[in-house]
Structures are given as structure tokens and as C-alpha cells.
Amino acid sequence: MRNTLFLFFALFCYNLMAQDNTIEKVILDFNYFKHYDTQYTIDFNKNKVFCKMKHKIPKNKEKILSIKIYSFTSQQVTKFKKELNQNIPNSNIHKSESALDGGGFIISYFKKDGTTSKLSTRNISRNSKKYKAEFNLIDSFFEFIYSVVDDDEGLKILDESYEPYFYGLPIRKVAENPLEYKIWGSISGDVTWNNQLTPFLDGLPKNQCIIIDCDNQLSYSWQEDILRLYILKNSTIQFANMDWLKHTREYLIEFKEELKTCKDNEEEMEKLKKTTTYDLYMNNTTEINKWLEIPKNSISKTVEQCRENCR
């Protein structure tokens, strides 16, 4: 009987301690080179998350660019809370790697008993196994928050936070009819690099109009590749927000003039042949000439123009 009472008392005390250690609130701060700072305050008692985008200004002050508040359900946050509770630090912990440019995130924990702790990171790499727990937590957070945020401005803030830590193709579906996708993170290089974009585009349905909002996230070289591989081939894919193509158009017009003047000048012609514009034009002459007939203000289309074209 005495052992039973002792066991009951021990379990009772353990439950009280567990309740006192329950996380009531957590704050995640993200800062990264060439990105705005963002902060997410998650209140588990109120089932609300406060999203803030800010910009550091002189004298260690901050300029608030945007504040958004969202509600969430217990079901939406279950997976993130489970990941969060697996590695709650008992003190302030700092993990970092050396790098020229970069950034990191800070997770501040607020417990029911009034105690706080913090995990600070700087330039940690997803390629290192020793940071697996930290990236599992971050991935779990973004999976949760993307299920909560439902407006364009909020998603823009969220994308700003996630891009430095995301791996893969930064593209998401935003509409079904017509089928529409948005490239939300930057894609550098060109089609010859480690390329995930063209396999994705080539795998889209061929018998319907599809919109890709590039949001000017593609490099100049990528936009030229999209022009060459899809736009000039009259693809059913409508590409929106590719402003670099305006410059490509200007270069092609200049190139055509230079081609005429250099026709009998072998030395100047050899210089032209070394340019990427030469390959683009000479390998697609008929298609390029037809494309150059399009009005200048229609070269880089808006999403609305693409939707109209798909109707």
C-alpha cells in the first residue's frame, strides 16, 4: 500500500513539473544576408501567430515593414509542437559555423513556470548531420506556418524567411483553373546547371494553358533559356514577370543592326560570334524575328495578362 501511495505521489509530482515546463509561447527570429529580418511569435494559449517583417536602421533601431496576425487550430500545430518539445534547451545555447556572409535563426522558448531558454544559430549547414535536429525543427515550423498563412503579403514575408533554408525547387501551385504556379525563391545559373526546373516544366500537361509566375526570381540566363526552350516554341505555358526579357529584346535588336554592318568585316563578325546573343539569334532566327514583332510592353507579361490569354 505504501509503495502504491509513493508511486501515485511521484506520478503526481511529475505531472505537475511537466505542466510547469509546458511551452506557452515560442518566438522564432530569422535574419540572413540580403534578406529582411522576420519574426514569428506563436502563442499556444491563444492559438495565434504574430508575423513581423523588419529592417534594421542606424543606431540599432528597427523599421517595421509589416505585421500580420493569424489564428490556427490545435490540429495544424500538432506536428510542430511535437518536434518543438523533443529538444527544449534548459539554457541559452549557441551553434555556429564561420562564413563570410550568411545568417541564422533564434528560437526563444517561454515556459509555463516563467523560465525561458534560447537556441541561437549562425551559418549552420543543412549538409552537416550534426544540425539535423535544428533543420527538422525549422522544416516542421515552416510546414505549420504555410498551412496557416493565406494571403499574398503574408506569403511574401514567409518566403523571405524560408528561402535561405529551403532546398529543392522553390515553386508552388496557387490555382487550379487555369493551372497556375509561382516561383517564390530565386533560381540562379542556367539550364546547364543542376537543373530541376525544366524537368518540372516538361512534366506539366501539354493539352492545357498553364501559368508560371516567375516573379522575377529567375536569373538573366534562365530567362533567356525559357525564351529559347518554351516561348519561341509556342509552348502552352504562359510565363509571367520575366523583366530581363526586355533587355534581351534590346540586345537582339542591336545585334541585328550590328550583323548588317559587320557583314563584310571578318574581324568584327568573329567578335559577334563569341556572344550568347549570336547563338540565340542564329539558332532561332525565324522565331526571334517573329518574337521581336511583339509590342515592347507585352514582352514581360503580368499574371493578369497570362490569365486573360488562358481564357
Nearest-CA neighbor of 49 among 165, 146, 184, 186? 146
- The answer to whether residue 100 scores a pLDDT higher than 70 is no
CB atoms within 10 A of CB 244: 20
Binning pLDDT at 50, 70 and 90, where does residue 265 land? confident
Contacts of 304 by beta carbon, 8 Å cutoff, 6+ apart? none
* Residue with grid cell 523599421, as numbered in its chain: 63
pLDDT at position 272 = 87
Q: Which residue has the higher pLDDT, 35 or 21?
A: 35
Spatial distance between the Cα atoms of 227 and 214, rounded to a whole number of angstroms:
13
Is 153 within 8 Å of 185 (Cβ atoms)? no
C-alpha cell at 199: 524537368
- The answer to whether residue 204 scores a pLDDT higher than 60 is yes
Spatial distance between the Cα atoms of 292 and 304, rounded to a whole number of angstroms:
22
* pTM (2 d.p.): 0.81
Beta bridge partners of 71: 48
* Burial (CB count <10 Å: 0-12, 13-18, 19+), residue 40: buried
The per-residue pLDDT for range 56-84, each reduced to its tens digit, is 666 667 788 889 999 999 999 999 999 99
Is 136 within 8 Å of 145 (Cβ atoms)? no
C-alpha cell at 77: 500545430
Is 179 within 8 Å of 210 (Cβ atoms)? yes
Q: Are strands 210-213 and 179-183 parallel, antiparallel or unpaired?
A: parallel
pLDDT at position 13 = 40
Look at residue 63 and give its three-state secondary structure.
strand
- Domain layout of the chain by residue ranges: 22-164, 168-310
Q: Taking residues 6-31, report their average pLDDT.
A: 63
Q: Which CATH architecture has domain 22-164?
A: 2-Layer Sandwich (3.30)
